[in-house]
Chain A
Amino acid sequence: MVKHITTPLTYEKVKDLKCGDNVMISGVIYTSRDAAHKRLVEAHERGEELPYDVKDTIVYYVGPAPAQPGQVIGSAGPTTSYRMDAYSPTMIRLGQRGMLGKGKRSPEVIAAMKEVGAVYFGAIGGAGALLSKCIKKAEVIAYDDLGAEALRRLEVENLPAFVIIDSEGNNLYEIGRKEYLEFANK
């Protein structure tokens, strides 16, 4: 069964999501990766206003390829999330409710997720051509000088993902592997 999620991603919506759920994400989401995260957190530490209101938003860790003629955006699959671990607890406590990436997260990120009720989605890494088709509109809203790493506002329709870590801290990377090995070694 697929759960359809539309942003804003409220606390109530997050509480309904469980590790392993198949989801389709629609609505406005924001991109940022390594360099943009550094700027966001540094701006926050200086007491500056951020380029967008992060409350109940989903961040997509992606640095898209440039659009070819006729495309909204080039290939746009997830990048590896652990590189944002240094910044994510701050962003989560500022209200960022969902993260979309791939790969492991640190205990500090998971603790912040459980504390405020946030969720970590995984999209299929390396499927950038396919995922770009779910992006209907893309605009750079900050840090244009960063090129692929600029902060973008995306409008997405039915972007496929899985709940990797839910707001209780249940982790598909641990549970999915364990269940498969129980099946394989039966």
Chain B
Amino acid sequence: MREINAQDITAVVKKLCMEANYFLPEDIQDKICKACDAEPWPLAQSILGVIKENYEISLDNAVPICQDTGMACVFLDIGQEVHVNGNIADAVNEGVRQGYVEGCLRKSVVKDPLDRVNTKDNTPAMIYYNIVPGDTFDIMVAPKGFGSENMSQIKMLKPSDGLQGVKDFVIKCVEDAGPNPCPPIVVGVGIGGTFDKAAYLAKKALMRSTDERNANPFYADLEKELLEKINALGLGPQGVGGLTTALCVNIETLPTHIAGLPVAVNINCHVTRHKHASL
């Protein structure tokens, strides 16, 4: 049994919260640069240029790319041969607290959804636990902004709706969102499972590199087709018209029930942030 101290989890989560908010992942930087070069509409191209300039300021100065430094989504892949000395959830939340307070990140969490009093330290984190074979302990911190989170949707399609139903729903979500989620967006799609698992898959899809396609060629092709269709909508960067509405579509799937076809679409803005570390 491998032993890990809870304090080590706190230190890593703190660092990941800060770095994720300051430094845009390289694959997203690359997608924005390529989109800027390929964008034929002058206003859209100038907006992509500003977006590029903005993340460069953050890279150079270690300041948040966006003021919405998100709700801290923390994905833990915990090897079943690992024993943690201490409380894992407390350790993660302490890391979020330290990262957001010391890193001058915005505190955007309210304790109760209706009473709405700010917790002032951005806790609690949304923690996703996954038990895996072996003795590894992997942490992914993904600060999720709510401008884009609010534009996400889920639908329980019928099996007879089939592939066309899935495509139509994904396009409808992007169309409904319009300029609101800060396009160019990254689109996470979860297909199958149950109501809640489809939503989880859609969020997980946003954690995958935009350089990596689904391992199943059928879904890899669907990702490409949906990206083309979304970029034919004409919404463009910030929704003011243009080619670049989305940078990437990532799909994740699970087996599902004979009666169902759940589809969830989790939208992320051009500040798609996630940072990973292993203990």
Question: Among A124, A125, A127, A133, which residue has its beta carbon within 8 angstroms of that of B147?
Answer: A125
**Residue of B at shortest CB range from A83?**
B150
Cβ of B234 to closest chain A Cβ, rounded Å:
4
Cβ of B47 within 8 Å of any chain A Cβ, yes or no, is: yes
- Within 8 Å CB of A80, what residues of B? 147, 150, 180-181
- Within 8 Å CB of B254, what residues of A? none
In the complex, A58→B44 CA distance in Å? 25
Stretch at the interface among A10-18, A44-52, A91-99, A176-184: A176-184
Cβ of B262 within 8 Å of any chain A Cβ, yes or no, is: no
Interface of A, helix, strand, loop or mixed by DSSP: mixed
- Give the interface residue-count category, chain B: 35 or more
Contact: A129 with B58, CB < 8 Å? yes
**Residue of A at shortest CB range from B61?**
A129
In the complex, A133→B53 CA distance in Å? 12
Cβ of B183 to closest chain A Cβ, rounded Å:
9
The residues of B with any CB-CB pair to A shorter than 8 Å are 40-41, 43-44, 47, 50-51, 53-55, 57-58, 61, 63-69, 104-108, 116, 118, 120, 147, 150, 178-182, 232, 234-236, 238-243, 269-271
Q: In the complex, given contacts A75-B67, A173-B179, what are 9 additional A-B residue pairs having Cβ atoms less than 8 angstroms apart?
A: A63-B106, A66-B106, A75-B66, A79-B147, A102-B180, A104-B179, A148-B118, A180-B236, A184-B40
The residues of A with any CB-CB pair to B shorter than 8 Å are 35, 62-68, 71, 74-77, 79-80, 82, 102-104, 122, 124-130, 132-133, 146-149, 160, 162, 164, 172-173, 176-181, 183-184
